């Protein structure tokens, strides 16, 4: 007989390859696994083989899910089609929905889609049905080392397609009950200062939260309280359990059954999940709570680890792509860490004084969460909050025992007393007052957010190791082993950068250009990417990338004054005011970059080969072209140079010969003439381009031209971040999206030529 906890462990082990597989096998491979697993289950009695067979069946289930998502993106992207979409949420001109009908046929498993545009006939809301004509695109995200993965998040959430609506017609105008309820609450809380936070806690709608509020939550480590997930769903379940027990207090003894509070708990949790719009964290929490309820109904006396493993197995069986969700790992790791903390460092407290015991127990739990969550917090958020302990000690009880119960009461009052505004209004006013007090306290805490780099990834495991060392008393019995373990975890801090080598990185930033030359722990930048309303590449990509790789920028060359090349300069200059700047035109606080200028940096020579001092041409043709060399290897950085300037530059071929060439003007037809490509005599061509760009760059003719001259072609849309490492023995290229061990969810989705 298979034991459920062990079976759950093998199910998790079977689905786990989704995290690291470089390619998803075809469906026939999953069919072979199903047949093999079924045959083993039917023909053998050996328990190990039976568990392995269950793991194989779980893997086949996961592969079918992943392959279905890939097939959906390949079939639905690239062509303009008509479809029927059921809207699930809407924010401004961004609408989330499910494609319920495609090419006139209903979809059994509707894929998620994000649509952009306006609905001309009426105000959009969830629950509506739209007839949409659009050219859908497979999800594509920037892929830089240590950066956020939009593709992984999209696969986990199920919204793998997007498109701008060319034509839209309203089929069903009525909104869902949830949308109607949200609209009523919005009207009642429109005058409140913290109305956006109320909506986030009540309905999971966080789109209207201000940037300042988000920053406070991030720096104090309390952002998890504003996302409806395990804590809130469990709280709703607890409220249902208490309500059921209260009802049972007035019932005859023979009517009281232990199943009623459990069922009521799951029902209340399901109601809160519905209020949240069925967002993935809430659904996962509901599945886990339902699994726990079934275990309790069957009166299984299992330990905490057994219950956790069974709950996690049910969650990933419901949707195997959940494994790609960061929030899933945060929740699972948090529960695991707290179980480990309470078992290995139990709290006994002072039971004579209940208030003191409760406060001390809360500190004990929060301290364990802060220390043991570091291995996930560091790589996901690239920072540590030193104020998270006091902030959560204040915020968690306040939100759990005051704010959220009042929100439940307010929503319930709005449903029951739909025609009355007074009762819900008073409740919302109380919630607003509590939130104002909470954020006043959080804002008053000292700045405690500390950005960290990759070296902290191994050190973050120190609390786990110290807990094991303390439990087994290894510090007394084996001090040298403990010292060696700590030294290994801290080893990255002792390692020094290699002084002989240097690297050139072309960051994947979408449209624009941002390159980093790295040596001895310092960086020199060539262009800083694009900017847009509310942000820029320097703030969102370059500065976090430099911080994570522990690099200090000392200089920057702005090839020319177009926003897709100088967009991030202001953010970089704000953080590093003393950085040396080079511009193609004279500028206060910067140096003039023109032909003949030379300088040395970290043993590398920088020679400006274009433009001449008196050259008069277009802004692109006045791009500052720099040749970087270590005496052996040469890299040519060209900005947005076009054909007229290229022809003039090729009159001096000795000054432009290089091993690596940054493709001018993102590979457009107006650049990379045959004479320029031939005279450069390079081996590698690097192009910074955005997928789905409206100019269809890079041009296929340009790619073919470089390949005909024996260049290796790399572009950021296809390959992600591209890094070239130079040493005295040669050079090596690393294209992050094209590496063998790059997981499947980071690769190119959809058809190949849809950005050309």
Write the pLDDT tens digit of every residue in 353-374: 777 888 888 899 999 999 999 9
Write the pLDDT tens digit of every residue in 474-533: 888 888 989 998 899 988 887 765 567 899 999 999 999 999 999 999 999 999 999 998
Mean pLDDT across the chain, nearest whole number?
A: 91
Question: 734 and 596 in one domain?
Answer: yes
Question: 212 and 145 in one domain?
Answer: no
H/E segment holding residue 432: helix 422-444
Q: Is residue 577 part of a domain?
A: yes
Q: Is the pLDDT of residue 25 over 80?
A: yes
The set of residues, in sequence order, having a beta carbon less than 8 Å from that of 102 and lying 6+ positions away, is 76, 81, 83, 84
Angle between helices 374-381 and 326-344 (to 10 degrees): 160
Question: 634 and 596 in one domain?
Answer: yes
SS (H, E, C) 326-390: HHHHHHHHHHHHHHHHHHHCCCCCCCCCHHHHHHHHHHHHHHHHHHHCHHHHHHHHCEEECCHHH
Q: Is residue 539 part of a domain?
A: yes
Question: 621 and 594 in one domain?
Answer: yes
Question: 198 and 332 in one domain?
Answer: yes
Write the pLDDT tens digit of every residue in 148-176: 999 999 999 999 999 999 999 999 988 99
Q: Is residue 20 part of a domain?
A: yes
Alpha carbon 53 to chain centroid, angstroms: 33
Residues forming a β-bridge with 733: 724
Domain limits for position 274: 183-451
Q: Is residue 664 part of a domain?
A: yes
For residue 619, the domain's CATH number is 3.60.15.10
Q: Is residue 755 part of a domain?
A: no
Question: 375 and 435 in one domain?
Answer: yes
* pLDDT given for residue 274 in this prediction: 92
* pLDDT given for residue 753 in this prediction: 56
Determine phi and psi for 214, rounding to 5 degrees: -60, -40
Q: Is residue 8 part of a domain?
A: yes
Q: Is residue 300 part of a domain?
A: yes
Write the pLDDT tens digit of every residue in 666-675: 999 999 999 9
- Integer-rounded Cα radius of gyration of the chain: 29
Q: What b/e sequence results for 338-365 when a residue is b if at least 16 CB atoms lie within 10 Å of its CB, and e otherwise? A: bbbbeeeeeeeeeeeeeeeeeeeeeebb
Question: 68 and 158 in one domain?
Answer: no
Question: 255 and 119 in one domain?
Answer: no
Q: Is residue 729 part of a domain?
A: yes
Give me the number of domains the chain comprises: 5
Question: 19 and 129 in one domain?
Answer: no
Q: Output the six-digit token pair for 230.
A: 């395990």
Select from 74, 103, 135 the last residue of a domain: 74
For residue 160, the domain's CATH number is 2.40.50
Question: 487 and 470 in one domain?
Answer: yes
pTM score, whole prediction: 0.91
Question: 196 and 141 in one domain?
Answer: no
Give the pLDDT band (50/70/90) at residue 420. Answer: low
Q: Output the six-digit token pair for 656.
A: 């432009």
Determine phi and psi for 227, rounding to 5 degrees: -110, 125
Give the pLDDT band (50/70/90) at residue 756. Answer: very low
Select from 56, 74, 92 the last residue of a domain: 74
Select from 59, 74, 89 the last residue of a domain: 74
Look at the block and give the residue holding tokens 């392995």: 52
Q: Is the pLDDT of residue 421 over 60?
A: no
Question: 300 and 158 in one domain?
Answer: no
């Amino acid at each position: 007989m298979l034991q459920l906890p062990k079976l759950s462990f093998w199910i998790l082990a079977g689905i786990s390859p989704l995290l690291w597989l470089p390619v998803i096998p075809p469906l026939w491979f999953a069919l072979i696994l199903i047949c093999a697993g079924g045959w083993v289950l039917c023909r053998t009695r050996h328990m190990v083989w039976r568990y392995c067979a269950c793991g194989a069946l779980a893997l086949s289930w996961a592969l079918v899910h992943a392959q279905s998502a890939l097939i959906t993106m390949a079939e639905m992207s690239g062509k303009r089609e008509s479809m029927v979409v059921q809207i699930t949420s809407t924010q401004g001109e961004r609408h989330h929905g499910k494609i319920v009908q495609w090419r006139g046929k209903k979809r059994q498993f509707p894929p998620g889609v994000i649509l952009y545009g306006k609905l001309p006939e009426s105000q959009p809301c969830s629950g509506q049905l739209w007839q949409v004509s659009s050219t859908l695109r497979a999800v594509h995200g920037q892929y830089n080392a240590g950066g956020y993965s939009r593709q992984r998040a999209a696969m986990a959430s199920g919204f793998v397609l997007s498109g701008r609506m060319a034509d839209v017609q309203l089929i069903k105008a009525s909104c869902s009950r949830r949308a109607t309820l949200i609209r009523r609450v919005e009207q009642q809380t429109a005058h409140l200062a913290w109305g956006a936070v109320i909506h986030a806690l009540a309905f999971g709608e966080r789109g209207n939260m201000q940037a300042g509020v988000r920053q406070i939550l991030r720096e104090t480590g309390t952002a998890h309280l504003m996302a409806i997930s395990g804590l809130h769903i469990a709280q709703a379940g607890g409220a249902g359990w208490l309500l059921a027990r209260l009802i049972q207090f007035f019932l005859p003894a023979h009517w009281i059954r232990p199943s009623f509070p459990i069922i009521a708990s799951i029902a209340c949790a399901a109601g809160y999940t519905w209020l949240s719009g069925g967002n993935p964290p809430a659904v996962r929490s509901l599945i886990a709570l339902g699994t726990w309820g079934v275990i309790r109904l069957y009166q299984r006396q299992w330990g905490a680890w057994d219950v956790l493993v069974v709950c996690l197995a049910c969650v990933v069986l419901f949707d195997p792509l959940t494994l790609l969700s960061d929030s899933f790992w945060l929740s699972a790791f948090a529960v695991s860490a707290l179980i480990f903390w309470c078992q290995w460092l139990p709290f006994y407290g002072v039971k004579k004084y209940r208030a003191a015991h409760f406060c001390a127990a809360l500190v004990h739990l929060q301290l364990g969460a802060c220390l043991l969550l570091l291995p996930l917090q560091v790589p996901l958020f690239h920072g540590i909050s030193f104020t998270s302990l006091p902030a959560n000690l204040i915020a968690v009880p306040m939100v759990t025992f005051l704010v959220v119960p009042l929100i439940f009461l307010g929503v319930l009052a709005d449903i029951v007393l739909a025609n009355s505004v007074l009762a819900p209004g008073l409740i919302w006013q109380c919630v607003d007052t509590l939130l104002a007090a909470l954020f006043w306290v959080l804002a008053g805490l000292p700045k405690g957010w500390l950005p960290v780099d990759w070296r902290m990834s191994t050190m973050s495991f120190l609390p786990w190791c110290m807990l094991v060392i303390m439990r087994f008393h290894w510090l007394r019995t084996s001090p040298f082993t403990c010292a060696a373990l700590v030294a290994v975890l801290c080893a990255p801090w002792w390692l020094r950068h290699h002084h002989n080598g240097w690297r050139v990185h072309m960051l994947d930033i979408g449209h624009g250009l941002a390159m980093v030359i790295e040596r001895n722990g310092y960086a020199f930048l060539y262009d800083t990417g694009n900017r847009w309303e509310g942000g820029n590449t320097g703030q969102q990509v370059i500065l976090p990338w430099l911080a994570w790789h522990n690099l200090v920028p000392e200089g920057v060359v702005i090839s020319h004054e177009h926003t897709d090349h100088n967009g991030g300069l202001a953010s970089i200059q704000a953080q590093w005011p003393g950085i040396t700047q080079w511009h193609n035109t004279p500028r206060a606080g910067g140096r003039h970059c023109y032909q003949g200028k030379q300088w040395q940096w970290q043993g590398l020579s920088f020679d400006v080969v274009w433009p001449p001092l008196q050259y008069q041409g277009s802004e692109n043709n006045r791009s500052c072209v720099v040749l970087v060399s270590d005496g052996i290897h040469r890299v040519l950085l060209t900005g947005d140079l076009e054909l007229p300037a290229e022809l003039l530059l090729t009159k001096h071929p000795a000054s432009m010969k290089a091993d690596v060439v940054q493709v001018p003007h993102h590979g457009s037809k107006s650049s990379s003439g045959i004479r320029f490509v031939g005279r450069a005599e390079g081996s590698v061509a690097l192009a910074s381009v955005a997928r789905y760009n409206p100019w269809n760059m890079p041009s296929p003719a340009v790619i073919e031209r470089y390949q005909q001259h024996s260049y290796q072609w790399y572009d950021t849309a296809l390959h992600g971040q591209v890094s070239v490492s130079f040493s005295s023995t040669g050079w090596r290229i690393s294209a992050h999206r094209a590496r063998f061990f790059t997981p499947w969810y980071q690769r190119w989705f959809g058809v190949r030529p849809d950005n050309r």
